[in-house]
């Protein structure tokens, strides 16, 4: 059955891609495994040169790659260009820093000399989502390839054009044929790929359901996994916060990528003193965001990636209102072609309501008002998720004290939660485990090997 690439802003068919059958999958895995035996011994300086070449390729054809992102999943074009540039940055960062990260670490023991070295594992399967179709792949692939591993990509079925372009980037950069390979397979074929003896580990960014299935299958075969799953990030605003800046950044954080981001601010937790000022400013910021054609550079809010995702989001909004929340703005689909949804703000959202308990993957913000900072942290932690959190106060010492109590993989004080090649990224609880990026990320898929010399 072919994969269809469709433009969510218009519904138009862009292209069809043939699904790989079992024989082709076996052939590609075999090619990738064969490449590993030479790639692992390729000098770090050579690998680095190829990653720099990948960064240069991304920048030289940025418009082409950004256009494909926008066409396939509806991201505003200016954000797509930013995504491509970020991919180039992560390639450059690992090319420049892996040699330092992988220096032998000498440790004192009863040996005449003992140290730790970092060796690649082999073929890594990456199961990736559609919402950041280039970035999610590159933040895995850049460190994995620099570490000496090779990669198989199972991308989301609605972004096959992006998947093929990413493979082309690495091919143009000089990565050996098969060192990074896209498998055109559905989710039902992931288990058989995980079962293959050549595949030694897997990484997945996606839903809790998908993550638990991959983790269970890999666990049965004693293969390592790294999971980055959903998020329902709290955005906490305390009494003494810079309200104007918090409202502006909060609106950006909630509506970036049309709200289709795991680390977007989703639950706005405001103290009573902050709420009266924050809410009207927040609504004004959102009202000023242009909705429409993702190819228009002025557009801030594009299309929802698929029809079923829009319907699911609308159902969450309606359910939350029925449970007692107040609709402040939005709450309905934009008339006309495409999958557009009006930016929506719900207030009076509490534990037990759909928008509090579940991840809302679209332009929907929920507001909860609390008494004080202590209650704000308790409400923030009262979630199945623990990916990121944003905390707004002008008291730095208080902020750092609260940050230690917030249950999340990252806490951003007076700033928007974001991923950065220099910093470890990942979550706890139902948001997954393991880390990507920084030196922590590249060491996830290596053999941390002790060498002891008498």
In sequence order, what are the residues at sequence separation of 6 or more whose Cβ sits closer than 8 angstroms to the Cβ of residue 434? 203, 225, 226, 227, 228, 426, 444
Structure tokens at 300: 């801030």
CB 368 within 8 A of CB 349: yes
Structure tokens at 400: 């750092």
Distance CA 14, CA 215 (A): 33
Give residue 90's Cα distance to chain centre.
Answer: 14
Structure tokens at 207: 């839903």
Distance CA 29, CA 199 (A): 8
**Pick from 224, 140, 211: nearest CA to 384:** 211
Catalytic residues: 228, 262
Strands (E) across 293-445 are located at 326-329, 344-347, 364-370, 385-386, 388-392, 410-413, 428-429, 432-433
CB 91 within 8 A of CB 52: yes
| CB-count exposure of residue 397 (10 Å: 0-12, 13-18, 19+) | exposed
Distance CA 399, CA 411 (A): 10
Phi, psi (degrees; rounded to nearest 5) at 178 = 95, -15
- DSSP string across 218-235: HHHTT-EEEEE----EEE
């Amino acid at each position: 059955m072919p994969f269809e690439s469709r433009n969510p802003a218009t519904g138009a068919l862009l292209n069809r891609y043939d699904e790989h059958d079992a024989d082709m999958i076996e052939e590609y895995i075999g090619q990738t495994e064969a490449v590993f035996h030479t790639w692992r011994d390729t000098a770090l300086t050579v690998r680095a040169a190829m990653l720099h070449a990948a960064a240069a390729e991304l920048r030289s054809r940025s418009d082409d790659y950004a256009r494909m992102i926008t066409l396939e999943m509806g991201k505003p074009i200016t954000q797509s260009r930013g995504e491509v540039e970020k991919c180039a940055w992560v390639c450059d960062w690992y090319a420049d820093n892996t040699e330092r990260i992988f220096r032998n670490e000498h440790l004192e023991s009863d040996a005449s000399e003992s140290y730790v070295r970092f060796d690649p594992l082999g073929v890594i399967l990456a199961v990736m989502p559609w919402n950041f179709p280039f970035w999610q792949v590159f933040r895995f692939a850049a460190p994995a390839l620099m570490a000496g591993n090779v990669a198989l990509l199972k991308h989301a079925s609605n972004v096959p054009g992006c998947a093929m372009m990413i493979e082309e980037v690495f091919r143009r950069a000089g990565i050996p044929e098969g060192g990074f390979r896209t498998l055109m397979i559905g989710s039902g074929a992931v288990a058989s790929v995980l079962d293959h003896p050549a595949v030694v580990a897997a990484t997945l960014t996606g839903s809790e359901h998908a993550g638990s299935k991959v983790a269970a299958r890999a666990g049965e075969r004693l293969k390592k996994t790294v999971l980055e799953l959903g998020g329902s990030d709290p955005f906490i605003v305390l009494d003494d916060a810079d309200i104007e800046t918090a409202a502006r950044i909060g609106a950006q954080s909630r509506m970036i990528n049309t709200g289709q981001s795991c680390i977007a601010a989703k639950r706005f937790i405001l103290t009573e003193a902050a709420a009266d000022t924050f809410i009207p400013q927040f609504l004004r910021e959102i009202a000023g965001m242009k909705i429409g054609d993702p190819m228009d550079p002025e557009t801030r809010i594009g299309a929802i990636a698929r029809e079923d995702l829009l319907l699911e989001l609308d159902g969450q909004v309606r359910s939350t209102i029925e449970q007692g929340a107040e609709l402040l703005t939005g709450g309905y689909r934009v008339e006309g072609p495409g999958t557009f949804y009006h930016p929506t703000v719900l207030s009076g959202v509490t534990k037990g309501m759909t928008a509090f308990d579940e991840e809302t993957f679209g332009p929907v913000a929920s507001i909860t008002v609390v008494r004080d900072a202590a209650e704000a942290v308790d409400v923030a932690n009262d979630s199945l998720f623990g990916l990121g959190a944003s905390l707004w106060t002008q008291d730095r010492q208080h902020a750092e004290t609260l940050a230690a109590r917030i249950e999340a993989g990252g806490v951003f004080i007076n700033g928007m939660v974001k991923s950065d090649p220099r910093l470890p990224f990942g979550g706890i609880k139902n948001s997954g485990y393991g880390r990507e990026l920084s030196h922590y990320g590249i060491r996830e898929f290596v053999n941390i090997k002790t060498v002891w010399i008498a």
